[in-house]
């Protein structure tokens, strides 16, 4: 059975503003079903400092990690950038030592490498489908709201260092104040350098990010 998910990213004050990302299954109540290594039918998170492109890539990466099985996976996104990074440009960048056509380092290379690794090791095929944003597509509208909501939360959280968070259960957001905040962290968004220098926030206190953040 094919699994279809929508992904999206958002940034306020792009670039280098509060950023959010989100993915959502098209089928509801999928948590725990075959091919779904997650508790709910969607997930979202964000950071105080990021870009729209980082948000788009984070959403794709987290969607792949939540669906690692042999079932065919279709990822719908309104980001041509995320699609090209994941399916086309990545091959040339790998051959060129992760340098672009101007011989400069590829932006967001850590995230793109992580996406490529997830696709490569996944037993089932992955297909990307572009959808027009803000055009009434139910899945796209849902993840757009998730991403924008978490970017907005970052504005309200006045901390000096980057922090990231994710929602652990209910992801549909009719009211931002109803969203539970958990100290569980998404596995994306930061480089190895950031892992050594930043702080995560959860359960009312800060702790070293490197202790709880997987390398990408």
Does the residue 214 lie in any domain? no
Does the residue 175 lie in any domain? no
- Provide the pLDDT for residue 3: 94
Q: 156: pLDDT confidence band, cut at 50, 70 and 90?
A: low
Give the Cα separation of 213 and 14 in Å (integer). 25
Does the residue 122 lie in any domain? yes
Domain count, the chain: 1
Of 214, 154, 145, 142, give the one whose Cα is nearest residue 181: 154
Does the residue 209 lie in any domain? no
Q: Domain containing 145: what range?
A: 3-157
Does the residue 129 lie in any domain? yes
Does the residue 212 lie in any domain? no
Does the residue 211 lie in any domain? no
Tell the residue number behind the tokens 């399916």, with chain if given.
Answer: 87
pTM (two decimals): 0.75
- What residues are annotated to the active site? 8-9, 56, 78, 134, 144
Does the residue 172 lie in any domain? no
Q: What are the backbone dihedrals phi and psi of residue 165, each rounded to the nearest 5 degrees, phi first? A: -155, 170
pLDDT in tens, 162-207: 334 344 333 333 232 323 333 333 333 333 233 223 332 222 333 3
CATH at 82? 3.30.420.10
pLDDT in tens, 22-78: 999 999 878 788 888 888 889 998 887 789 999 999 999 999 999 999 999 999 999
Q: What are the backbone dihedrals phi and psi of residue 194, each rounded to the nearest 5 degrees, phi first? A: -65, -35
- Provide the pLDDT for residue 36: 85
- Residue 69 CB contacts under 8 Å (≥ 6 apart), including other chains: 34, 35, 37, 122, 123, 124
pLDDT in tens, 114-151: 999 999 999 999 999 999 998 989 999 999 999 998 88
pLDDT in tens, 88-118: 999 999 999 999 999 999 999 999 999 999 9
């Amino acid at each position: 059975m094919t699994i279809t998910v929508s992904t999206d990213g958002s940034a306020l004050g792009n670039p280098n503003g509060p950023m959010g990302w989100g993915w959502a299954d098209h089928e509801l109540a999928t948590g725990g079903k075959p091919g779904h290594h997650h508790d709910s039918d969607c997930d979202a998170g964000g950071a105080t400092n990021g870009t729209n492109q980082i948000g788009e890539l984070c959403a794709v990466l987290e969607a792949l990690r939540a669906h690692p099985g042999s079932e065919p996976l279709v990822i719908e996104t309104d980001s041509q950038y995320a699609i090209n990074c994941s399916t086309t440009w990545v091959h040339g960048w790998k051959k060129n030592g992760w340098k672009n056509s101007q011989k400069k380092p590829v932006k967001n290379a850590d995230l793109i490498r992580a996406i490529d690794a997830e696709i490569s090791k996944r037993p089932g095929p992955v297909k990307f489908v572009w959808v027009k944003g803000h055009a009434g597509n139910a899945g796209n509208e849902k993840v757009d709201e998730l991403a924008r909501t978490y970017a907005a939360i970052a504005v309200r959280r006045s901390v000096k260092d980057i922090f990231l968070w994710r929602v652990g259960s209910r992801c549909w957001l009719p009211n931002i104040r109803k969203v539970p905040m958990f100290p569980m962290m998404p596995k994306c968004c930061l480089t190895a350098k950031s892992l050594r220098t930043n702080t995560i926030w959860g359960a009312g206190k800060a702790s070293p990010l490197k202790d709880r953040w997987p390398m990408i």
